Structure 1
Amino acid sequence: MSQIDIPEKAHFTDDLEPAGGWGSLKEVSTTLMEQDAVIHGMQALPRQNKLHGFACVSCSWAKPADPHAFEFCENGAKATAWELTSNKAAPDFFLQHTVSELESWTDYELESTGRLTKPMRYDAASDKYLAVSWDEVFADIGAELRTMEPEKVVFYASGRASLETSYMYQLLARMYGNNNLPDSSNMCHETTSVALPRSIGVPVGTIGLDDFQKTDCMLFFGHNTGTNAPRMLHQLQEARQRDVPIITVNPIRERGMVAFVNPQSPVQMLTPDQTCISTQYLQIILGGDTAAAMGIAKWLIEADDAARASNQTRVIDADFIAEHTHGFEAFADKVRATGWEDIERFSGIARSELAQAAQTYARAERAIIFYGMGVTQQREGVQHIDMLTNLLLLRGNIGKPGAGICPIRGHSNVQGQRTVGITEKPELAPIEKLREQYGFEPPTKKGMNTVETCEAMLNGEVAAFIGLGGNFLRAAPDHSLTEPAWRDIPLTVQILTKLNRSAVVHGRKAYLLPCLGRIETDQQESGEQAVTVEDSTGRIHGSKGLIDPAANTLLSEPAIIAGLARHTLEPNPRVNWDAWVADYASIRDAIAETFPETFHDFNNRMWTPGGFARPLPARERIWKTENGKANFIPPATLNPHAELPDRSGETLRLMTTRGDNQFNTTVYALDDRFRGVFGTRRVLLMNKEDMKKRDLHAGDFVTAETESDNDVTRRVERLRVQPFDIPQGCVVGYFPELNPLVPLWHHAKGSKVPAYKAIPIRLILEYRGAEST
């Protein structure tokens, strides 16, 4: 199969359609037909995100108690079609293709081969994956793991796995002897898990869907809602109908936050009517989040100083600050001492625009701040979140209806797997309870996160990598270093539904373990099973598949974890893996015993309409911080790029992003209609002045190289440049194609989340495109 991403055949447009509308319906229909999943899709989609239905396998946005007739978005429907495809990557497919050949295929081509049907083992003599039995797989992998040093084995978890599977997986890792449980949170919202506990005492957001009806103002930082959580646009549209102002702070004018046509509204579908979601849009420079938030805070504090001097009504919530917070005076002094010139310089936003945003925020009695990976995946991501929290604390907007902070998570259960113990940090795991419950000595040494796993790979210190879903290698940074190191791992095991790059680039011994998808019926000894997930607002939901499995040779994720455990671990009379697989309700009983505060009466509550809420003390203004207060935390710097190299004086700041035909590393098609890009993902979107300065024209092809002070060359070639509405000095390209430009050291301070934003790069002209000549 030939490469399908040919940049010369791409086309571009400035005529962008709104999010939703007929475009979404067309995209969903096309994907269903391409995957030969029309019949199964029509059966499944009406039950998506519904009570007694199945939770979407892509994003983790909240599932309402009173859902719409169609409670799915365009990308959620594509994810469903992708899982229910009639295409199969059966054993005969692997007999026709060597693994070396498959390595040359694009991400889209690999996943388009369809569902894996049987367990496969890599055969070095033929360079092919060959089918083996499940018994053989478990025996072989177990024998290998029993010979290895536990501290050199990694148990990675993507955000797809259910609460039941995740709980079993963390127990397997800890009974094996380590806390090496990196997960997709390490790739995205670990920054949240570091920042929020020290400021408000919880590692997750504080709002629920009910707060949308009560809020007076919303602010969005660093999130492409129209692509990454489109179902939220319904709540935003309803808020706009109540005249709630929505301020968006982002380097790109993302289409969903500008124009939305509700596919479930006959009026909007049959007329030119559309909803403008954002009432003010601040296009900051990459990394300018702290400076922008500082500008809003400065206006508030200066206005409050003036109000206090003239005995007027206070602008900040002085009573809340006095009763509930610590560190206000130090923060206020820092704000007062910061000049507007620096704020404008490092945010890229004029003082007048920041003042307008501050006035809008000040008029609101209740406000919510949302943020996404545009904030968390930066070197100063923790500081950015601190500043957003500071803004909320200034006006008492934590712990009251219609107010709070909301990190918008990505994968469908990425937040939930942390709730049941998937973490490399032993202090966050229920170590004492596991010791008491299962009678073993859990490891207390800190495990490896994503970046540390990559570092260990480079040092030859990873003996085995077990992947529970996901596409770790493709999502990881620094491909020129990590891919060669990955090939040297003695054992790689991937539990997955489809081929991806982490499967075809393999360790010295490699296994593919195909599992059931969430939409498929899961028949076990006690009958059909259901699982649970946690959404972005901390609500836990039941999920039950309804479509026949892609093959009768597939095992469920719990069954695969149990098979690995039985063949790897010493028998433990307190853990009956087979009984857990026979009846998932028994797993939930075990979870409830480990985490009684959150999961008491788990089985009876799992079908609560809208989900049941995990305890969130900050929502009740109970602060589980060291000092028992909510903490103001002053920023260390406004300049996010002070330490980054700029040897040539021509450095641009690269922001990697996902397209509208994409979920994480899964690419459904090469078009990104919300940015006007069609037929390619090998593109750099640039400010016109930056192009002019470098004598570049639309259609020219360049090599991008990372500016670095070390001797490692990081480059991506054959990238087509196109003009785009983005602040000067910033450039946009696609994840994961541009991950080779992200150095392993370029991660968020404090959380080690790979910083896929604001990467320092320079461009080298390869050849002129047709437009130039």
Structure 2
Amino acid sequence: MTVTPGGPEDPRNPEAAARAIEVPEPAGGWGSMQGIAATELSQKAGPGALETLAHLNKPDGTACTSCAWVKPPNPSAFEFCENGAKATLWDLTRERCTPDFFAQHTVTELRALSAYDLENEGRLTEPMRYDAATDRYIRTTWDEAFAAIGAQLRTIPPEAITFYASGKAALEPSYLYAAFARMLGHNNLPDSSNMCHETTSVGLKKVIGSPVGTCQLDDFEHCDAIFYLGQNPGTNSPRILHPLQQAVKRGCRIVAFNPLKEAGLVEFVNPQSPVQMLTGKATRLAHLYLQVRPGGDLAALMGVCKHVFARDTAARAAGEAPVLDDAFLAEHTHAFDAFRTKVDGTSWEALERASGVTRAEMEAAGQVYVEAKAVIGIYGMGLTQQVHGSEAIGMLVNLLLLRGNIGRKGAGCSPIRGHSNVQGQRTVGITEKVALAPVEKYREVLGLETPPQDGHNTAHFLEALLAGRNRAYVGLGGNLAMAVPDHERVHPTWRNMDLTVHIATRLNHTHLLPGKQSWILPCLVRSEEDIQASGNQFVSVEDSFSHIYSSMGRRKPASEHLLSETAILCELAKATLPFNPRWLWDEWRGDYARIRDLIARTYPDQFADMDRRMHEPGGFFRGNDARRRVWKTDSGKAEFTDPSVLNAGGDTSPEGALRLVTLRSNDQFNTTIYGHSDRLRGLSGERTIALISPVEIARLGLAEGQRITLVTAIEPETRRAVEGLKVVAYDLPAGTIAGYFPELNPLVPLGLREKLSDTPASKGVPVLVEA
């Protein structure tokens, strides 16, 4: 279609943009309230849950276990979102998964249940031991569990042991977990970052010297434009919708890049606004919405840069002020000329093919950037879970650097994290890389000699598992076996391990792949009292903006037999490690302030006086060099990058293949399924679906409602297939198909990973359709 600039179909025309964006219903509003109510009805959390919600994300209240959004210094009356409320109600369920339940079912029988059915049995109540003779988990005692696990760990070579962390554990148990692994003699410390935002830790650090975002909350009060890529706030981080709404109301323009038109980027009804709730009048969020192909963000951003260069050239020719920030570029950046040469040498036709959007759309987005004085770039896993995700992050940074949009008020790069403390776990030592571990401070503070060899991340753990080299697994939360790629290859080998240990709150499918010895150790949730020798304990967490906050639970535990994560780790370490007079496990268990003293001594520049400062409203900021325009890169400056590809998905798609994007539903947090409603996409009833555009349905000779099989189109020596998926017509770019995580994880080959970070490329898997 030919688009006349400024005409009715030009995406730069706001009326045309508004007509083009349609979603089943706005994010927030009464639908959000109904979603919370449905979870409360299913979990029967009771009136006490309302008190917990009232204190959620407040100073010295309970930190939400959902996303890693900020706990503001001046919180609103209800400082939680639909997702946070669901996670809290899920934790505080009245349902109990007792030893009697396990006595009635074999592990083989339980594996046939859905994720929802398993978790809906409720909270685990007592430690359990797997009995291979009966294929059942049976009741055990804490003393028996600790003694047996410790004895087994001592017989296994350290390099064959993996300590995995899911991302929810607070800073105190996370610090001890990392230290425990190294005391045992290994650095095998994969965590959930390896599955999602490790590309940020590697890719962003390479170009600006910081492995985390540079923004603070008040930047959202001063930005003129927000470029929002590959993230669905309505489902994954709804509390960000409040600052987005306020930004739009004062004139900020949001440009969204995503293959799906997600409601949370289109319209929002604020549940805390009586006027919006009564009238139903939504705030329109996205000024422009570019429906890129999977991986097409990279080319689309290059097209935005191309327009910025064109406007700068025109301005200089007309004797007007330059568009580019020449002073910033000269003082703070490296390799600008090579990047400009690459952009100038790349045709609009090539960018349209790679991105899936038109030149007019890219130019419209570029004009928003040119007209904005301060721009924030926000992104999620749609950008990072690609084969060349680091290059996509680099391209976003390229764009921000052109006008000095890093390191000043109202501007910066802001990745949105998922788990509530996944960023914090890395901060306090959960990393497989020795170079990132506090080796000298461990020696000084703990008398610990860190093993010199790098450990393995999640991908390398799976490779070791397939090769029979990994013999023990300790999981600090999570449902890793379902979250990983390549289920048909990985799951059978999981059961070959000598030992599997699961520190958990509810039953999930990873627990149902027991090793030769397997233990379930049930723990408290964050909203429950954690009574130790010195009383009820505070813990601490880190948000996406590098702020550290306190959190305390006040609900009675679900069972008298539960222990905290910290208590479990201290007892495991005592049962496993030789005595060392500097390893004070009993003291650390009895008073978590002693652990915070260790953290402050290990990281004095960031955590000095941690035990006091974490109680301040808004917590404390541990600092960010790139925000101060101090660039800890190889060149000492912010790096422009010259991409090797135009689509971050790479060149892996055979002829006729579609690119698969895996999604989370509105009734889901990671592998936890709260129900079967995905109302913000107008979907409900089942999760075995394949979303395909009407054009692709017709091209493939399919019919809506038909059941199909998806087959991975690469690595043909191994057949990877998911059968029985219902075809659902959905507005998607050409060549794109979408479906739910983790149900479609069997289609993701372990070898399809981001080049620098090893993150699974789950947002661009080449697949073929079998009718």
Question: Does the alignment reach a TM-score above 0.5?
Answer: yes
Deviation at 1:93, TM superposition (A): 1.0
Residue 435, structure 1, aligned to residue 417, structure 2: no
Cα deviation for residue 560 of structure 1 reads 0.5
| Aligned equivalents of 2:518, 2:564: Cα separation in 1 | 20
Give 2:736's aligned residue.
730
In the alignment, what sits opposite 2:683? 677
Contact kept, 8 Å, 1:32 with 1:41, in 2: the verdict is no
Deviation at residue 394 of structure 1 after TM alignment: 0.6
- Whether 1:493 and 2:507 are equivalent positions in the alignment is no
Counterpart of 2:405 in structure 1: which amino acid?
N
Distance 2:308 2:391 in 1: 19
Equivalence for 2:34: 26
2:731 equivalent to 1:754: no
**Residue number among 36, 49, 57 corresponding to 2:57 in the alignment:** 49
Structure 2: state its 5+ residue gaps.
1-21
> Contact 1:118–1:554 at 8 Å: present in 2 too?
yes
2:312 maps to a residue whose letter is: D
Identity of aligned residues (%): 52
Contact 1:645 1:709 in 2 (8 A): no
* Residue number in structure 2 paired with 1:9: none
Q: 1:297 aligns with which of 293, 298, 305?
A: 305
Residue type of the partner of 2:706? D
Which residue identity is paired with 1:534? E
8 Å contact 1:165–1:557 — kept in the other structure? yes
Match for residue 173 of structure 2 among 161, 165, 185 = 165
State the match for 2:16 in structure 1: none
User: What is the deviation of 1:438?
Assistant: 1.6
**Partner SS, residue 38 of structure 1:** coil
Q: Structure 1 residues 641, 559: CA separation in 2 closer, same or farther (over 3 Å shift)?
A: closer
Match of 2:699 in 1: 693
User: Displacement of 1:641 after TM fit?
Assistant: 4.7
Moved more, 457-466 or 25-34: 25-34
Q: Aligned partners of 2:34, 2:349: CA distance in 1, in Å? A: 48
Does structure 2 retain, via aligned residues, the 8 Å contact 1:103–1:504? yes
User: Which residue of 1 is the match for residue 640 of structure 2?
Assistant: 632
Alignment equivalent of 1:225, drawn from 233, 254, 260: 233
CA distance in 2, matches of 1:640, 1:542: 39
Q: Name 1:567's counterpart in structure 2.
A: 575
Map of 2:748 onto structure 1:
742
Tell me the SS of whatever aligns to 1:284: coil
- 1:445 counterpart (453, 458, 464): 453
1:15 shift after superposition: 7.3
- Kindly provide the amino acid, as one letter, of the partner of residue 442 in structure 1: T
Select 1:506's aligned residue among 511, 514, 531: 514
Counterpart of 2:374, as a letter, is: R
Q: CA deviation at 1:710?
A: 3.7
Task: List aligned pairs for 1:366-445, cutoff 5 A.
Answer: 366-445=374-453
Deviation at 1:589, TM superposition (A): 0.3
Q: Is the 8 A contact 2:388 2:649 kept in 1?
A: no
Q: Which letter maps to 2:457?
A: N
The yes-or-no answer on 1:83 pairing with 2:85 is: no
For 1:88-146, what per-residue CA distance to the aligned partner results, in whole angstroms no more than 9, with x for missing partners? 01111111111111000000011101000111000011111011110110000000000
Check conservation: 1:302, 1:336, Cα contact below 8 A: no
Partner of 2:6: none
- In the alignment, the residues of structure 2 paired with residue 641 and residue 228 of structure 1 have an alpha-carbon distance, to the nearest angstrom, of 23
In the alignment, which of 239, 257, 266 is matched to residue 247 of structure 2? 239
Shift of 1:677: 1.2
Q: What TM-score results when the alignment is normalised by the length of structure 2?
A: 0.96
Aligned 1:446-485 pairs, distance under 5 A? 446-485=454-493
1:714 aligns with 2:714: no
Following superposition, the deviation at residue 611 of structure 1 comes to 1.6
Match of 1:145 in 2: 153
Which residue number corresponds to residue 11 of structure 2?
none
Q: Any conservation in 2 of the 1:415–1:536 contact (CA below 8 Å)?
A: yes
How far the C-alpha of 1:304 sits from its partner, in A, is: 1.6
Displacement of 1:384 in angstroms is 0.3
Q: Which AA in structure 1 matches 2:753?
A: H
Q: CA RMSD in A?
A: 1.0
Q: Is the 8 A contact 1:116 1:514 kept in 2?
A: yes
**CA distances 1:228-248 after superposition (whole Å, capped 9, x unpaired):** 110010111111110110100
* Offset from partner CA, 1:163-186 (integer Å, 9 cap, x none): 001000000000101110000000
Name which of 309, 317, 322 aligns with 2:325: 317
Q: Could you say what secondary structure the match of 2:283 adopts?
A: coil
Task: For 1:209 and 1:750, locate their aligned partners in 2 and report how far apart those are by CA, in whole Å.
Answer: 29
What's 2:337 paired with? 329
- Which of 178, 189, 208 is the equivalent residue of 1:181? 189
Following superposition, the deviation at residue 302 of structure 1 comes to 2.2
Note if contact 1:660-1:672 (Cα within 8 Å) is conserved in structure 2.
yes
- AA of the residue aligned to 2:168: R
Match of 2:7 in 1: none
TM-score (norm 1): 0.96
How far apart are the structure 2 equivalents of 1:441 and 1:764?
55
- Listed one character per residue, the Cα deviations across residues 188-229 of structure 1 (whole Å, up to 9, x for unaligned) are 100001111111111000111111111111010000011111
Give the distance between the partners of 1:645 and 1:235, measured in 2 at CA.
39
Structure 1, residues 452-473: CA drift from partner, whole Å, max 9, x if none?
0110000001110000001110
How many residues are treated as equivalent by the alignment? Answer: 750
What CA distance in whole angstroms lies between the structure 2 residues aligned with 1:508 and 1:691? 47
- Measured in 2, the distance between the counterparts of 1:700 and 1:280 equals 34
Code of the residue aligned with 1:706 in structure 2: it is T
What is the distance in 1 between the residues matched to 2:518 and 2:311? Answer: 63
Q: Which string of whole-angstrom CA distances, capped at 9 and with x for unpartnered residues, describes residues 256-310 of structure 1?
A: 1111111110100101311111111000011101100100011111222333344
Tell me how far apart the structure 1 counterparts of residues 172 and 186 of structure 2 sit (CA, whole Å): 20
Residue aligning to 1:193: 201
Give per-residue Cα distances to partners, 1:383-442, cap 9 Å, x unaligned: 000000011111100000100000000000000000000001110110111022222321
Equivalent of 1:345, from 349, 353, 356?
353
Aligned residue in 2 for 1:664: 670
* Structure 1 residue ranges (4+ consecutive) displaced by more than 4 angstroms after TM superposition: none
Deviations 1:286-345, CA, capped at 9 Å, x for gaps: 110110010001111122233334432111111000011111111111111111110111
